[in-house]
Amino acid sequence: MTPPRLIAITDFQTQGNYATLMRVQTLFNHSHPGTVLLQLRDRELPTARLASLGKVLRKLSRDFGHRFAINDRLDLARLLDVDAVHLGERSVSVQDARRLLPEVPVYAAVHDAKAALASSADAVVLAPVCAPRKGAAALGLDALAELATALRQRPGAPLLYALGGVTAKHAAACLEAGATGVAAQGAIWDDDAWQELCVALEIAC
């Protein structure tokens, strides 16, 4: 199966249920099937609400031919029959996730090349690449390109995604640097930016 080119990260707390679900449907409808992985990452939401929203997002993903992932919650990952699980740096290990969910691809957050090269995940999401985040300086496209080159030389290396300030302005450059795709949150919920991002990634219908 071709890897997704865009990881779209949810923000229910800021956007609310209705606006989020409407944007997800529109994004899915305007993207070629299989090119988007929707990631449920609202850590602060209660478990019951996460599960409820996850069921809706899981159905939408299947209806439109896209994929669905959840952050960290391996219990909900099993319940929701996800297509991938994303592990933050403080989450369980990749090995533990594989033991509990042996058929589910594992994506892992990394913040430097050393962690990415040491990871046994199926995909790593490097951040922040294009803009500073939480006091960390942007790594930049040169660092992304160097990491992509190093990963290509490692047998069984994970796929590489760029996160952190990624917009349409940077998307093509991230792909040219060797990333499999990009992950985005802010650009997904901007009324104009999401369409431009899809065009830049060449996934727009």
Cα 83 off chain centre by:
12
The pTM of the full predicted model, rounded to 2 decimals, is: 0.97
Residue whose token pair is 């040491």: 118
Q: What is the mean pLDDT of residues 146-164?
A: 96
Q: What is the mean pLDDT of residues 88-101?
A: 95
* Side-chain-side CA neighbours of residue 103 (13 Å): 5
For residue 151, pLDDT over 90 is answered with yes
For residue 129, pLDDT over 90 is answered with yes
**pLDDT tens readout for residues 45-81:** 999 999 999 999 999 999 999 999 999 999 999 999 9
At residue 1 the predicted structure's pLDDT band, cuts being 50, 70 and 90, is: confident
Q: What is the biggest distance separating any 2 CA atoms in the chain, rounded to whole angstroms? A: 45
For residue 43, pLDDT over 90 is answered with no
**pLDDT tens readout for residues 181-191:** 999 999 999 99
Q: If residue 36 lies in a helix (H) or strand (E), which one and from where to where?
A: strand 36-40
Phi, psi of 113, rounded to the nearest 5 degrees: -65, -35
Closest CA to 144 of 172, 122, 168: 172
27 burial via Cβ count (<10 Å: 0-12, 13-18, 19+): buried
